[in-house]
Structure 1
Amino acid sequence: MDALNALIADGGDRLWTWIILPVLVVLGLYFTARSGVVQFRLIPEMFRTLTDKTPRDEDGRPQSVSAFQAFTISAASRVGVGNIAGVGTAIAIGGPGAIFWMWAMAFLGGAASFVESTLGQLYKVTDKDGFRGGPAYYMQNGLRARWMGVVFAVILILCFPLAFSSLQANTISATVSATIGVDNAGTWVAWVVGALLAVLTALVVFGGIRRIASVTQAVVPAMALLYLLLGLVIVAMNIDKLPEVFASIFSQAFGLNEVVGATFGMIVMTGVKRGMFSNEAGLGSAPNAGASAAVTHPVKQGLVQTLGVYFDTFLICTITAFIILVSTPDLANATRGIGLTQDAVVGALGSWSGVLLSVIIFLLAFSSILGNYYYGESNIEFITRNPRTLTAYRVIAVAVVFLGSIASADLVWSTADGIMGIMALVNLIAIALLSGVAFKLLKDYTQQRRLGKDPVFTRDLLPGVTGIECWADEASVTGPIDIATRTREHAKQL
């Protein structure tokens, strides 16, 4: 097993070093330049569109989930193990300098996230619960390459609802075991935690996207606020060490870290991999959530999902890094993953905080399981609409949560890294080919905003672009109730 794990880990490292990283950097720079640094320039718009009113149907009901609910679904997947265990792993392997590269790739990745989520909205389709879409859909409808969409969908299903959800469950189990003083997973504690997680997951996922959205809308803001408050208390207690922390992050980002033996390449690679695992920018996962929203212009979800990247990395990951680094850990002998963060929290606040951190990790990881599940469901329905297949998928997704709680995580981590790299590469190729369409949408959005309008897109605004199933006319986009209101307001202005 150790040999297999080493082989998979080595193959994943080579894939990231020689293919994924160069493609990420080049495309990130290209998207940033072509969009006029959209990920910075339109930050105010990101917050404005986050609370956008949801278009309604003829009966006055929301057409689908809201922009904010789509944000929380994607945040539910983003904000999880990667923000606590992943950041701890990055610091243990690459030292404080790895955090700088997490920040840098979040900024570049923001442009990629904008492009992929805008395309996800443009090429979305309708279903019984509202809308669904994502990379598989823009590969099929935008590139006319269904085979590519199927390949992506299969990889995503293996990666998120299976591998990543297993990791989230394993982290919950390990944290609970450590909190009550049990040395390792696989004991009765892990079995009990696994069974409880499986039941809770089943209760939510068998209720469909609207139930998932309702749960994540409540859980994600609560868990984020609780974790941020915990981190701010620890940082405030060690405020005198903050300048030293910033200095170590920047000074060690560009050279050898003697403490952990990390070279420059290792520091960069660790920051990029752990950062992408956490914020998912360019990975092709967030567009699945973004496409489910009912909005009046595709660019709105492009902006909202870019904000999600910042929320994940610049807030949640950064507070984890500060929690660890202000405690001045012994990085030379540090435990990778969740243990480093746990030790820092308990060391700063006392043993009681271990219980609080366990609750936070449970909320983080459980919401990630729900987000991961929805990504898989959207792609299952892309491959087949057979209801039996969807039911079988739900059963498997619940079973994986249970099994992940009692299994060893080492092999799953290495496998997930490799699968994530392949998935990212397929998606990056697709959005590179379709990026021109996203930039046309951005131009239309900014022109409408300059005229003081709340932007509304219809597919006739993109003549020559085929494969767009929704966005037929203004009434279908804004809803009959909203268009009547707009007509009255326009008449008053005249």
Structure 2
Amino acid sequence: MQFISDLILAINDVLYYPILIIMLLACGLYFTFRTKFMQFSFFKESINVVAEKPNQGGVSSFQALMVSTASRVGTGNIVGISNAICLGGYGAVFWMWLIALIGGASAFIESTLAQIYKRRGDDGTSYGGPSYYIETALGSRTLGIIFAVALILTYAVGFNMLASFNLQDSFKVYGFYQPGVTPWIIGAVLALIAGYCIIGGGKRIIQFTSALVPIMGVLFVVVALIMIVVNIKNMPQVFSNIFSDAFNFRAIFGGVAGSSMVQGIKRGLYSNEAGMGSAPNAAASADVSHPVKQGLVQMLSVFIDTLVICSATAFMAMASGVVPTEELAGAPYVQEALSTVFGAYGNYFITISLSLFAFTTLLGNLYYVDSCIAYLNKKVPSKGFQLTYRIVAAVIIFVGAGMEMDFVWNLADLLMGLMCIINIPAILILGSQALKAFEDYRSQKRQNKNPVFLGRNIGLDESKLQYWK
């Protein structure tokens, strides 16, 4: 196991620096300039779109936002940020912000493309994602299959194991924790609860996540604000630490793999998923009058995840005065920070937060996996297959709780990187279509219309579309 873990780490060191760092930043900056900084100019519009009502029985923009946010807002928002700070330094927070700000444009493009090429289900609902736009627009089902397999491995295996591990890791601070026993008990309980929900299928997933995500996010931000107010005198030093460490290039290039830059980009990508090709699977399910609407919604989801939830974690931990160390990496750093104000209740709060985060992450992740399994099968699989797969998914959740921290994080990073390597070139090649759709949307808004999309208006071959004609 140690040999495999070291091998994966060696691959990741090359995969993230220089390959993925260049790809992510170049893609995000390219679409930021091509859309004329739409992350800022269309931010208000993205909020307005979320409030729109769908047609009778359709999935609303808000529900699609909650499913994608459920996957984005997960244990990585607590444990991932803690790891980035403890292992990479304070400057990791800056790089996390940067990847979210420019990544919002990438998220917009990939989700708009998913809407353009979405398919119509037998029940009248829509579905889609990168595999569909890769096959339909690029003409390569083989590459679509490779992406679908990469996503299934990333979410059903890597990310779900990680969510389970991160939850049990928060129990280490309690006296009853026994390393050889407690993780397996927690993993079993989580697997049983998640298994019950996922056997109910996609509709139940949407209902659960729509209810839990807003409550979970608001509670977490409120506690973070309390921590900030109590430690307000420390906030100037917090910002000073973030920016001075972020631009300490001697430290960064002295040890690139573990630097604040790489840790911030890794954990930022893991948390907000911009450019990975995951959220488009949820975006394609929304019932909207124009693909750009859902692109704007998914851009907003990136901001909610990183600029709000991740920043809340970073500020509450750093303002406490607790010095981040490698030994505190993970849930313990945030728990120790909260205990300076809330005592033992701080530990309880993080454990409860991680329980909700892990739960909604598991559900959101498996919603994506459902979409890719349907793609591989060219239709919704049989009930027997779905039941078997969901039982296997629950077993993986159970196993993840007892794995070693380094192995689980490294595996998740590797699988996540493979998704990016396929999806980013695809959206760069197809990006002009999303940009034309964006211009079509802006043109109709300037005429005070509720934008409605037709493929021929931007020169698309409507024979390749199941919607928008």
TM category, shorter: over 0.9
1:458: how far off? 2.4
1:242: how far off? 0.7
Match of 1:408 among 404, 407, 410: 404
Q: 1:96 to 1:157 in 2, by over 3 A?
A: same
Matches within 5 A, 1:183-222: 183-184=178-179, 186-187=180-181, 189-222=182-215
The question of whether the paired residues in 1 share the 8 Å contact of 2:162 and 2:412 is answered with no
Q: Which residue of 1 aligns with 2:223?
A: 230
Q: Which residue of 1 aligns with 2:49?
A: 49
1:93: how far off? 1.6
Write the distance in 2 (CA, Å) between the matches of 1:332 and 1:271.
Answer: 16
The question of whether the paired residues in 1 share the 8 Å contact of 2:156 and 2:365 is answered with yes
Q: Which residue of 1 aligns with 2:69?
A: 75
Q: Which residue of 2 aligns with 1:476?
A: none
Match of 2:465 among 458, 469, 479: 469
Q: 1:275 aligned to 2:237?
A: no
Matches within 5 A, 1:113-152: 113-128=107-122, 130-152=125-147
1:466: how far off? 5.1
Q: 1:323 aligned to 2:316?
A: yes
Write the distance in 1 (CA, Å) between the matches of 2:466 and 2:78.
Answer: 39
Q: 1:4 aligned to 2:8?
A: no
The question of whether the paired residues in 2 share the 8 Å contact of 1:254 and 1:264 is answered with no
Q: 1:179 to 1:221 in 2, by over 3 A?
A: farther
The question of whether the paired residues in 2 share the 8 Å contact of 1:94 and 1:262 is answered with no
CA shift digits 1:91-126 (9 cap, x unpaired): 012211111011111111011000000001111112
Q: Which residue of 1 aligns with 2:39?
A: 39
CA shift digits 1:124-175 (9 cap, x unpaired): 1122451111111110111111111100000000001211011111122222
Q: 1:417 aligned to 2:413?
A: yes
Write the distance in 2 (CA, Å) between the matches of 1:292 and 1:427.
Answer: 19
The question of whether the paired residues in 2 share the 8 Å contact of 1:194 and 1:406 is answered with yes
Aligned to 1:457, the other structure's residue is in SS state coil
Larger CA deviation: 281-290 vs 457-466: 457-466
1:330: how far off? 2.5
Write the distance in 1 (CA, Å) between the matches of 2:197 and 2:466.
Answer: 28
Write the distance in 2 (CA, Å) between the matches of 1:446 and 1:309.
Answer: 22
1:393: how far off? 1.8
Q: Which residue of 2 aligns with 1:341?
A: 334
1:329: how far off? 2.5
1:459: how far off? 2.5
Q: 1:11 to 1:258 in 2, by over 3 A?
A: closer
Q: Which residue of 2 aligns with 1:398?
A: 394
Q: Which residue of 2 aligns with 1:485?
A: none
1:456: how far off? 1.1
The question of whether the paired residues in 2 share the 8 Å contact of 1:95 and 1:252 is answered with yes
Structure 1 unaligned spans of 5+: 57-61, 474-494
Write the distance in 2 (CA, Å) between the matches of 1:96 and 1:228.
Answer: 20
Write the distance in 1 (CA, Å) between the matches of 2:350 and 2:435.
Answer: 42
1:327: how far off? 1.8
Q: 1:265 to 1:197 in 2, by over 3 A?
A: closer
Aligned to 2:259, the other structure's residue is in SS state helix
Q: Which residue of 2 aligns with 1:248?
A: 241
- Name the aligned partner's letter for residue 35 of structure 2: S
Write the distance in 1 (CA, Å) between the matches of 2:338 and 2:102.
Answer: 31
CA shift digits 1:286-313 (9 cap, x unpaired): 1011111111110011000000000000
Write the distance in 2 (CA, Å) between the matches of 1:91 and 1:73.
Answer: 28
Write the distance in 1 (CA, Å) between the matches of 2:144 and 2:160.
Answer: 22
Write the distance in 1 (CA, Å) between the matches of 2:314 and 2:464.
Answer: 43
The question of whether the paired residues in 2 share the 8 Å contact of 1:380 and 1:390 is answered with no
CA shift digits 1:216-267 (9 cap, x unpaired): 01100011011111111111110111111011111111106879x9669822
Write the distance in 2 (CA, Å) between the matches of 1:190 and 1:268.
Answer: 32
Write the distance in 1 (CA, Å) between the matches of 2:19 and 2:309.
Answer: 28
Q: Which residue of 2 aligns with 1:29?
A: 29
Write the distance in 2 (CA, Å) between the matches of 1:175 and 1:455.
Answer: 47
The question of whether the paired residues in 1 share the 8 Å contact of 2:90 and 2:241 is answered with yes
Q: Which residue of 2 aligns with 1:478?
A: none
- Name the aligned partner's letter for residue 52 of structure 1: E
1:44: how far off? 0.7
Q: 1:291 aligned to 2:267?
A: no
Match of 1:354 among 328, 347, 350: 347
Q: 1:410 to 1:11 in 2, by over 3 A?
A: same
Structure 2 unaligned spans of 5+: none
CA shift digits 1:44-72 (9 cap, x unpaired): 1110001111023xxxxx23x21101101
The question of whether the paired residues in 2 share the 8 Å contact of 1:142 and 1:467 is answered with no
1:199: how far off? 2.0
Q: Which residue of 1 aligns with 2:148?
A: 153
Write the distance in 1 (CA, Å) between the matches of 2:311 and 2:221.
Answer: 10
RMSD, matched Cα: 1.9
Q: 1:173 to 1:465 in 2, by over 3 A?
A: same
The question of whether the paired residues in 2 share the 8 Å contact of 1:381 and 1:390 is answered with no
- Name the aligned partner's letter for residue 24 of structure 2: L
The question of whether the paired residues in 2 share the 8 Å contact of 1:100 and 1:250 is answered with yes
Q: 1:307 to 1:461 in 2, by over 3 A?
A: same
Match of 1:427 among 418, 423, 426: 423
The question of whether the paired residues in 1 share the 8 Å contact of 2:61 and 2:294 is answered with yes
Write the distance in 2 (CA, Å) between the matches of 1:452 and 1:239.
Answer: 45
Aligned to 2:452, the other structure's residue is in SS state coil
1:407: how far off? 2.8
1:183: how far off? 4.7
Q: 1:20 aligned to 2:14?
A: no
The question of whether the paired residues in 1 share the 8 Å contact of 2:93 and 2:314 is answered with yes
Q: 1:95 to 1:441 in 2, by over 3 A?
A: same
Q: 1:297 to 1:464 in 2, by over 3 A?
A: closer
Aligned to 1:406, the other structure's residue is in SS state coil
Rg: which structure is higher?
1
1:469: how far off? 3.0
Write the distance in 2 (CA, Å) between the matches of 1:81 and 1:472.
Answer: 37
Write the distance in 2 (CA, Å) between the matches of 1:106 and 1:190.
Answer: 32
Give the % identical residues.
Answer: 39
1:4: how far off? 2.3
CA shift digits 1:57-91 (9 cap, x unpaired): xxxxx23x211011010011001121111101110
CA shift digits 1:386-417 (9 cap, x unpaired): 31433322121111112222333321211111
Aligned to 1:296, the other structure's residue is in SS state coil
The question of whether the paired residues in 2 share the 8 Å contact of 1:111 and 1:306 is answered with yes
- Name the aligned partner's letter for residue 337 of structure 1: G
Write the distance in 2 (CA, Å) between the matches of 1:105 and 1:356.
Answer: 28
1:177: how far off? 4.7
The question of whether the paired residues in 1 share the 8 Å contact of 2:198 and 2:204 is answered with yes
Aligned to 2:17, the other structure's residue is in SS state helix
